[in-house]
Amino acid sequence: MKRKVFMWKKLIDWIKKLWCNILCLCWKPPKYEPEKWNDNNGIQLNNNCYNYACNIQTGTYAQPGQATGNMYSSIGCNEVSDDAVSDGLTKQDCDQTCPNCCHKVALVVAPGYDYHWYRQDDNGMWSHKPGGTPATNLDNSGNPINDPRTADRGPYTVFCGCFCVCKCKVKIT
Amino acid sequence: MKSNELKIEGMIDIFSGRPNPKWPLSNEQVDELKTKLGKLPMAKPVMPPGLGYRGVLVTNLSKDQRIPDGIKVYNSILTIVDSGRTSYYEDVNNIEEWLLEQARKLGYGDAIKKFREWSHKSI
């Protein structure tokens, strides 16, 4: 009986992956659509910068590594990067593009205190969602973000690097 | 949950990735807050920065009659939401510092100091 359940679960996972990969054929990088996140209620308040960067609304204030049981014990570039990689993100040179079906995100930290993520939208510009506040395409100085490395990031002074978020391969909770 | 259980929460709106620090307000603290909310002059709203310290919130989850539904205070300006109506007041009774002091006692003093410095540098 247990074996049968296991086989069914495997089959369902395989079908889900196959379906995801089929959808991926017509995939495009995320559009900047703040209205999908800024409801001043459940969606906005329960999805953070990591949700927004991955373009996945879990409603759980997702934490890097939580889905794989590898959540950080301290806040630094290495710790949060490793946790994100365990969720399925892949490290990428910020000046290179991500493969098809993937979009680029960037990690910054306020060492010892907190981390923050940005994502690159289909227009090449970057946007972000600071915690439970509205998603925006502006930095802390009110300027559009064409590169998170040079944007005003407030206390998130350390730029850690870029990653690719590939549809069908990332799981966050 | 008992129907008369007090559930009023303070929260510093400070982090982006990690959950913001929260703590429950005691019955005595709610009484004190009610007094501090007494007579306040009207003010114009202020916009906190995206990243950094964005203020302190009090959420009245138990709909206690002594205080409004929601209070946010940033840079000495109070935003009060009650019955769907939003009003702005000057924080002449220093509610912001009073709430921050509660958070400092819970061990968030360093984070408040660091993130507040940056929010003052931003717009």
pLDDT of res. B123: 44
Q: Judge whether B119 is closer than 8 Å to chain A, CB to CB.
A: yes
The pLDDT tens digits for A24-59 are 666 778 999 999 999 989 999 999 999 999 999 999
pLDDT of res. A10: 84
CB spacing of A156 vs B16 below 8 angstroms: yes
What are the extents of the domains in chain A? 29-166
Q: Look at residue B3 and tell me if it is in a domain.
A: no
CB spacing of A155 vs B118 below 8 angstroms: yes
Q: Which residues of A touch B15 (CB under 8 A)?
A: 113-114, 131
Query: What are phi and psi for residue A107, nearest 5 degrees?
Result: -110, 135
Q: Look at residue B1 and tell me if it is in a domain.
A: no
Number of domains in chain B: 1
Buried b vs exposed e over B16-36: b needs ≥16 C-beta within 10 Å?
Answer: bbbebbebebeeebbeebeeb
What angle separates helix B95-103 from helix B27-36, to the nearest 10 degrees? 160
Nearest chain B alpha carbon to A66:
B18
Tokens found for residue B123: 């717009």
SS3 A65: coil
Please give the helix or strand (H or E) that residue A109 lies within, else none: strand A102-110
pLDDT of res. B121: 59
Q: Which residue range forms the structural domain that includes residue B16? A: 8-118
CB spacing of B122 vs A152 below 8 angstroms: yes
Q: pLDDT at residue B2 above 50? A: no
The alpha-carbon gap from B99 to the nearest alpha carbon of chain A, in Å, equals: 20
Smallest Cβ–Cβ distance between A141 and the set B17, B119, B123 belongs to: B123
The pLDDT tens digits for A82-133 are 999 999 999 999 999 999 889 999 999 999 999 999 999 999 999 999 999 9
Q: Which residues of B touch A144 (CB under 8 A)?
A: none
* Prediction pTM value: 0.90
Q: Look at residue B82 and tell me if it is in a domain.
A: yes
Q: Judge whether B121 is closer than 8 Å to chain A, CB to CB.
A: yes
ipTM of the complex: 0.90
Q: Look at residue B42 and tell me if it is in a domain.
A: yes
Q: Look at residue B112 and tell me if it is in a domain.
A: yes
Tokens found for residue A35: 């209205």
CB spacing of B17 vs A110 below 8 angstroms: no
For CA atoms A31, A36, A40, A44, the dihedral sign is negative
Alpha carbons B92 and B41: distance in angstroms, whole number: 8
What share of chain A has pLDDT > 70, as a percent?
Answer: 98
Tokens found for residue A118: 């940005």
Give the CA radius of gyration of chain A.
Answer: 17
Q: Look at residue B75 and tell me if it is in a domain.
A: yes
Q: Look at residue B123 and tell me if it is in a domain.
A: no
Mean pLDDT of A64-91: 95
